[in-house]
Amino acid sequence: MTKYDFITKNELTKKIHFLKSHDLYPFFKEVSSTQSDVAFFGNKKVLMFGSNNYLGLNNHPKIKKAAQDAIAKYGTSCTGSRFMNGTLDLHKELENELADFLKQEAVIVFPTGFQVNSGVIPALAGKNDRIFIDELNHASIIDGCQLSYAKRIKYRHNNMEDLAVKLEQDPRDGSKNLIVSDGIFSMDGDIVKLDKMIEVGKKHDAITMVDCAHAIGVIGKNGSGTASHFGVSKEVDLIGGTFSKSLASVGGFVAGSSEMIEYLSHASRSFMFSASLPPASTASALAALRILKTDSSFNEKLWANTHYAIQQMKAFGLDIGNTETPIIPIYIRNSEKTFKVAKMLFENGVYVNPVVAPAVKDIDSLLRFSLTSAHNKEQILFAITEIVKAIECFSKQLNSRNVYIN
């Protein structure tokens, strides 16, 4: 017995060993280029349908110039937390423009999008409170709930009737009720019924929070997210999000009333005790935001590609669930087959992300196919035909027995 036996005996370690021993391990591939419609892994060129670069802005010359200028002025880091010496005038500029963009009174910026949920949720709910979450919410929301010590209650995916029932079954009794949901669900590609969620929440005096990580740049006026999409920007209590997707940077934010944001800036530990967002990242996000506000062509191209891809996938008979956004799940519903299909696609020049348990249930294993405005119809059709061929190939080879360790 050694102190590391818990690693070798762990089920996760067994899964990793299985994938590597069967040459199916798809993770941590090294990218050697910019990721746009194509990317290079070493010398291998592939069509990139695995990134969250929805507007294709991560190589935009104005954004790169903004990052370079910020480094020239501020250096490479802020050398402290926002709470102390780490607040730049550039941070405040980004926060003010974001607040205006989202039609909220105030915003604070976090080092990552994950830290938004892991910091905001525990600041809002404590041991005697209740947090109601969609069963398909992102891991950062789940972790935020666990850090809060509040009672976590899941409701059926995007089912506001079930949410209402759960709220009725677990009355407030003087404690806080908090409802948190993804704006666009990161694996299934559907949109939360935010207007209905807020309506249900009002009946129970609940605080409502929507995580627009995948919605910013994609839906709403000028890509301003889920609340804008439903016309409820003044009714939702908090809007969270990230810069790492459409805004071509890294970092996160939360927006809401001035009173709420001032409280969170003094109560959210991941905001108070983390080094602040670096100058280059802050400037990149600000430059991308300004492009969103003034140029709709990227969003329009993204949606043209999305409608075309969904139409073609349905015509080919692919199982894509209820997606309605550039995130398109292609359900394989078998973990081993999902890894095999993803590997064949990579070998044939198409990169997609395999998603298996525990990220989803094994029967919901899928390929996460994500579009950007940089793609064209020829690339999309080529990728879809390769996906169909790979699925058909392994459908013939693989019987119903799934040898992947679950």
Whether 29 and 83 map to the same domain: the answer is: no
Same domain, 258 and 162: yes
Clarify whether residues 40 and 151 are in a common domain: no
Catalytic position from the list 166, 245, 337, 340: 245
Residues 239 and 315 in one domain: no
Domains identified in the chain, total number? 2
- DSSP per-residue codes, 321-349: TT--SSEEEEE---HHHHHHHHHHHHHTT
Residue 171: what pLDDT? 66
Looking at 294, 321, 346, which one is the last position of a domain? 294
Mean pLDDT confidence for 45-64: 97
124 Cβ contact list (under 8 Å, min separation 6)? 148, 176, 178, 207, 209, 264
* pLDDT score of 401: 45
| Position with higher pLDDT, 42 vs 173 | 42
pLDDT tens digits for 16-26?
999 999 999 99
Which of these is catalytic: 118, 186, 281, 335? 186
Mark whether 69 and 216 lie in a shared domain. yes
Mean pLDDT of 82-99: 97
Identify the CATH number of the domain in which residue 314 sits.
3.90.1150.10
Residue 160 — very low, low, confident or very high, per pLDDT cuts 50/70/90? Answer: very high
Of the three residues 294, 318, 339, the one that is the final residue of a domain is: 294
Report the pLDDT value the prediction gives residue 397, as an integer from 0 to 100: 65
Query: Across the chain, what does the average pLDDT equal?
Result: 94
**Are residue 337 and residue 361 in the same domain, yes or no?**
yes
- Residue 94 CB-half CA count within 13 A: 31
Statement: residue 142 has pLDDT above 50: yes
Residue in 209, 208, 207, 233 with CA at minimum distance from that of residue 219: 233
The one catalytic residue in 91, 214, 337, 340 is 214
How far out from the chain centre does Cα 286 lie?
19
C-alpha–C-alpha distance, residues 79 and 277, integer Å: 10
pLDDT (0 to 100) of residue 405? 47
pLDDT band at 72 (very low <50, low <70, confident <90, very high): very high
**Is residue 55 assigned to a domain?**
no
Q: Is 29 a catalytic residue?
A: no
Q: Quick one: pLDDT band at residue 400, thresholds 50, 70, 90?
A: very low
Last residue of a domain, one of 245, 260, 294: 294
Which residues span the domain enclosing 314? 9-48+296-397
Residue 245 bears catalytic tag: yes
304 in the same domain as 281? no
In a domain, 350, yes or no: yes
Q: What is the distance between the alpha carbons of residues 118 and 180, in angstroms, rounded to a whole number?
A: 12
Please report, for the domain that includes residue 218, its CATH number.
3.40.640.10
Q: Can you state the angle between helices 297-315 and 377-397, rounded to 10 degrees?
A: 30
pLDDT in tens, 170-190: 666 778 999 999 999 999 999
Same domain (yes/no): 17, 153: no
CA distance 53 to 156: 29
Tens of pLDDT, residue by residue over 301-326, are: 999 999 999 999 999 999 999 999 99
Q: Is 186 a catalytic residue?
A: yes
| Mean pLDDT for the stretch of residues 75-82 | 96
For the entire predicted model, the pTM comes to 0.94
Per-residue pLDDT at 398: 53
- SS3 label, residue 89: helix
